[in-house]
Structure 1
Amino acid sequence: MSHQPAPHEAEPDTPNLDFQGTTPYEDYVQASVLTHLQHPLSDDPGEMVFLVTTQVMELWFTVIVHEWQTAAQALREDDLPTALAALKRSTYELESLNASWKPLAHLTPGQFNSYRSALGEGSGFQSAMYRRMEFLLGEKSASMLVPHRGAPRVHGELEKALTEPSLYDEVLGYLARQGYAVPESVLDRDPTRRYEPDAAVERVWQEIYSGPDDTAPARLGEALTEVAELVWRWRNDHLVATRRAMGAKAGTGGSAGVAWLEKRATKNVFPELWTARSHV
């Protein structure tokens, strides 16, 4: 007669299944929290896709902010290897973030309208973590703190991010300490203001790119260029997905919808990195 395993007898090579409380995986990942954060407000099955995809984007925003803060701190300490490693990781994360548009990129107007009313006044431009990303890129705007006045912790984090140097500010500070002629007016500028292109900074990048490709500043420039390109692709993918789903209609939350996104898509991140190429 063949042996029948006892009710609690493990199969061969079975990992440990018996824990006193929740599993170590759950304790670390908090999966049950993540998978119970979805509360659709309509009966349309497509809303679940929209909701989960948006939440996934928020998680990617969070880790990208972490990477760019790591890079900024490393540059402040002239630790280029750590900064380059963080920027490189962020490019993989940006690629994954951009891929998040796939489930939403082919929505028809009818499909989007079937649950659009569930958003109410909600809009992506109200995302605090995305705003922190933009602040790190030098896109500072004090008015973007206004929607978060009712959430003191979030407002405080955003206010701190507004007043701190951006990632690009730290890059220019690093280059100045390496002997490049970054003007004092740029180094001492008000960090709460949006970064504006500067002809002298363009000449710095022109000098860097006119030399060997394997210098530390050139490698930093290329790492930043990769980040900038992926941010540009994110903005354009957002624009195309929105245009496909709702055309030129006004966006939720009082935004101008496609018109707002079109304006954003034309802005270059780290602008002199792009314009300097015309002079090399």
Structure 2
Amino acid sequence: MTCPHHNTSAPTSATEAIVAEEKAQLDFSRDMSYGDYLQLDAILSAQKPLSPAHDELLFIVQHQTSELWMKLMLHELTAAVKNIAEDELNAAFKQLARVSKIMEQLVHAWDVLATMTPPEYSAIRPYLANSSGFQSFQYRCIEFALGNKNAAMLKPHAHSPERLAMVQTAFEAPSLYDEALRLLARRGIAVPASHTQRDWTKPYESSDAVEQAWLQVYRNPREHWDLYQLGEELTDLEDAFRLWRFRHVTTVERVIGFKRGTGGTGGVSYLRKMLDVVLFPEIWKLRTDL
């Protein structure tokens, strides 16, 4: 016998309501979707292999993702330099820590590219023409922001007025280290005027007087805690940058040996010279003299 008060349609109606609600939640036709927000149609259609080789997609994605990380790095570096100039060190510390983490991502990216063997790269190399990472305007801006100034490095961007203007701006601006030294001077620590009021387009030259300024900070970290922390943030950043350069040269040697680079550089020989570039020399030297 069926109970007159038992409604067999109630559970079904509740289930149908849940299903209808889930369908409504999965309908993105009226709202911005994940793909819309990230512009995935544009990003995922930006890979245009020129060769029939299977491995070219790896080569393209490796370099495109690196450029995206470099875009974020420039965003953070620019903000950090501005914040140091304005004595907003807490914000700068967060941004510099993020830059170091981005560098770690770029270091590990070489592990993926290193899976490309010499024959696999040789299959796509003719299709690259003269295109080269050496021509990356974002990387050049990063180098300039970190103080590795070289007027000759403007020339690879001369064919594009817009890109040249961007690189030129970075070339003429005080570097991250320049602003750090100006901050020390504002705090009453003796930094020579030759290093706080100079031509920012010239390569940085190490100074015993600047090392003495940093030694004052490092010998009294409690008294100069935020400057001490700034010195260590700079150390972390250059440490990560050195690792990136090392993985770059070893990956290139592994894949192409000592052939010349597609951009006309000496390839491995050029990259090995870059290993000797020291961005913040006094911060490293003081460790011996402390």
| Equivalent residue, structure 2, for 1:253 | 263
Task: Please list, as runs of the form range in 1=range in 2, the aligned pairs for 1:37-52 lying within 5 A after superposition.
Answer: 37-52=46-61
What's the C-alpha RMSD, in Å, of the aligned pairs?
A: 2.3
Tell me, yes or no, if the aligned pair for 1:107 and 1:241 is still in contact at 8 Å. no
Following TM superposition, by how much is the alpha carbon of 1:229 offset from its aligned partner in structure 2, in angstroms? 0.3
> Hey, what's the Cα distance between the residues in 2 that align with 1:253 and 1:85?
36
Whole-angstrom distance in 1 between the partners of 2:167 and 2:30: 37
How many Å apart are 1:96 and its aligned residue? 1.1
State which drifts further: 255-264 or 147-156. 147-156
Question: How high is the TM-score relative to the length of structure 1?
Answer: 0.93
The aligned residue for residue 101 of structure 1 is 110
- 1:222 aligns with 232
Q: 1:121 aligns with which of 108, 117, 130?
A: 130
Q: Contact conserved, 1:40 with 1:48, CA < 8 A, in 2?
A: yes
Deviation at 1:207, TM superposition (A): 2.1
Q: Does 1:173 align with 2:178?
A: no
TM score, norm. by length of structure 2: 0.90
Match of 2:3 in 1: none
CA distance in 2, matches of 1:10, 1:62: 43
Answer yes or no: is the 8 Å Cα contact 2:146–2:279 preserved in 1.
yes
% identical equivalent positions:
38
Letter paired with 1:200? A
The alignment status of 1:135 with 2:110, answered yes or no, reads: no
Residue 57 of structure 1: aligned partner: 66
1:205/1:273 contact within 8 Å kept: yes
SS in 2 for 1:32: helix
Structure 2 residue 231 is the aligned partner of structure 1 residue 211 = no
| Cα offset, 1:22, TM superposition | 7.2
Q: What is the CA deviation profile of residues 52-108 of structure 1, one whole-angstrom value per residue up to 9, with x for unaligned ones?
A: 010000011111111111110001101111111110111211111211111112432
Q: Which moved more, 1:204-213 or 1:226-235?
A: 204-213
Distance 2:237 2:121 in 1: 30
Tell me, in whole angstroms, the C-alpha distance in 1 between the residues paired with 2:158 and 2:104. 32
Distance 1:19 1:263, change over 3 A: same
Contact 1:106 1:244 in 2 (8 A): no
How far 1:197 moved relative to its partner? Answer: 1.3
Moved over 6 A (4+): 1-6
The match for 2:82 among 51, 62, 73 is 73
Larger radius of gyration: 2
Alpha-carbon distance, 1:212 to partner? 2.8
Asked whether 1:238 is paired with 2:259, we answer no
Q: How many residues align?
A: 279
Amino acid aligned to 1:162: F
CA deviation string 1:227-278 (max 9, x = no partner) = 0000000000000000101111111111110000000012122111111111
Q: In 2, Cα distance between the equivalents of 1:10 and 1:174? A: 61
In structure 2, the partner of 1:25 is: 34
| Distance in 1 between residues matched to 2:43 and 2:172, nearest whole Å | 32
Residue 42 of structure 1 aligns with an amino acid whose one-letter code is: S
- Going from structure 1 to structure 2, the CA distance change for 1:15 and 1:96 (only over 3 Å counts) comes to farther
Change (3 A) 1:16 1:265: same
